[in-house]
């Protein structure tokens, strides 16, 4: 496996420049992972497939889904891509590299863990601030147009929010100056996580069933269903910030009530 990765990476660094890989390559990778992981949930919803795992009974009409896709393409090309291009000098200055050899897993894993921890902290406070009255009305309400989220709505947001919360994702790598391979792995994991959190389905194989601190789709779906002043559940990947500051009380209360039947006995 390691030799296969090395061979593939050798091809990339031989045929493309650092700038092309870090900017255009990152953009292509992001778009591929995002749409390939998010589009299936549109078809599941339209066809009514796996409906027993759907968290909300309500479906989004095709027009709303199409609006989401159109806006996403606009935002990705007009906001995400320029940010990637402009941030390249910063990452290079901080030590990002793409040359061989690839970093060892002893280097990659601690960096990814650090990114998750830092991203959760920054995202929580940024997201909570976005739920103050003025910022919600003028910025964050765009993301909440979809009270019944589906995978692609994870990145449907006001351009200002894309920049604001996008900072939480890139601040870790910007600090450590990782190998481009590590940056790509982090980006893939982060995209898959946020798509899953917005997918609108809670499957038996959902990560939250196996990792107690992982938020996931059920946790974040609750956030979309409630009014902005009462929603809570501001965390990104893991739920510990909401637990520490008590902003998940409503969600925990609802979960507790769901485990009690009409006779007041545990189900």
Condensed to tens digits (0 to 9), the pLDDT of residues 115-136 reads 999 999 999 999 999 999 999 9
Q: Is the pLDDT of residue 1 over 80?
A: no
> What pLDDT shows up at residue 263?
44
The pTM of this model reads: 0.93
Judged on CB neighbours under 10 Å (0-12, 13-18, 19+), 118 is: middle
Q: What is the average per-residue pLDDT within 177-192?
A: 96
Indicate the number of domains in the chain: 1
Q: For residue 132, is it within any domain? A: yes
Cα–Cα distance list, 244 to 56, 113, 169, 227, 247 (Å): 28, 19, 21, 22, 8
Count the Cβ atoms, other than its own, within 10 Å of residue 4: 8
Burial track 170-200 (b if 16+ CB lie within 10 A, e otherwise) = bbbbbebbbbbbbbbbbbbebbbbbbbbbbb
Q: With bands split at pLDDT 50, 70 and 90, how would you rate the model's confidence at 101?
A: very high
158 within a domain of the structure (yes/no): yes
For residues 199-216, average pLDDT? 95
Residue 265, pLDDT score: 53
In a domain, 263, yes or no: no
Q: What is the mean pLDDT of the chain?
A: 92
Would the pLDDT of 138 be above 90?
Answer: yes
Q: Domain for residue 264, yes or no?
A: no
- pLDDT band of residue 38 (cuts 50, 70, 90) is very high
Q: How far apart are CA 130 and CA 160, in angstroms?
A: 11
Q: How confident is the model at residue 228 (pLDDT cuts 50, 70, 90)?
A: low
Q: Is residue 116 in a domain?
A: yes
Whether residue 267 lies inside any domain: the answer is no
User: Residue 167 domain-assigned?
Assistant: yes
Inform me whether the pLDDT recorded for 266 exceeds 70.
no
CB 146 within 8 A of CB 60: yes
Q: How many other CB atoms are found less than 10 A from the CB of residue 216?
A: 22
The answer as to whether 120 is a domain residue is yes
pLDDT at 267 over 60: no
Q: Which of 58, 39, 36 is nearest to 225 (CA)?
A: 58
Domain that holds residue 213: 2-258
Question: Does position 262 have pLDDT exceeding 60, yes or no?
Answer: no
Nearest CA among 150, 153, 144 for reference residue 54? 150
Q: What is the mean pLDDT of residues 129-156?
A: 95
**pLDDT mean over 51-67:** 95
Question: Residue 258 — pLDDT band, cuts 50, 70, 90?
Answer: confident
């Amino acid at each position: 496996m390691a030799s296969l990765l090395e061979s593939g990476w050798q091809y990339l660094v031989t045929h493309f420049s650092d700038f092309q890989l870090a900017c255009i390559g990152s953009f292509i990778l992001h778009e591929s992972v995002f749409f390939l992981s998010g589009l299936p949930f549109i078809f599941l919803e339209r066809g009514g497939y796996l409906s027993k795992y759907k968290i909300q009974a309500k479906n989004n009409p095709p027009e709303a889904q199409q609006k989401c896709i159109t806006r996403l393409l606009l935002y990705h090309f007009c906001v995400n891509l320029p940010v990637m291009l402009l941030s390249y000098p910063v990452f290079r200055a901080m030590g990002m590299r793409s040359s061989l050899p690839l970093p060892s897993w002893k280097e990659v894993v601690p960096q990814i863990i650090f990114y998750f921890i830092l991203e959760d902290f920054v995202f929580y406070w940024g997201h909570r601030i976005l739920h103050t009255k003025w910022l919600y009305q003028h910025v964050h309400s765009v993301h909440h147009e979809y009270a019944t989220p589906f995978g692609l709505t994870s990145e449907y947001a006001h351009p200002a929010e894309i920049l604001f919360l996008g900072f939480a994702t890139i601040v870790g790598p910007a600090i450590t100056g990782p190998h481009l391979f590590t940056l790509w792995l982090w980006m893939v994991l982060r995209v898959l996580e946020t798509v899953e959190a917005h997918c609108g389905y809670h499957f038996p194989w959902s990560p939250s069933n196996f990792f107690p601190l992982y938020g996931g789709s059920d946790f974040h779906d609750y956030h979309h269903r409630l009014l902005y002043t009462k929603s809570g559940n501001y965390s990104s990947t893991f739920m510990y910030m909401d637990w520490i500051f008590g902003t998940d009380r409503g969600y925990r209360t609802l979960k507790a009530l769901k485990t009690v039947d009409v006779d007041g006995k545990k189900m």
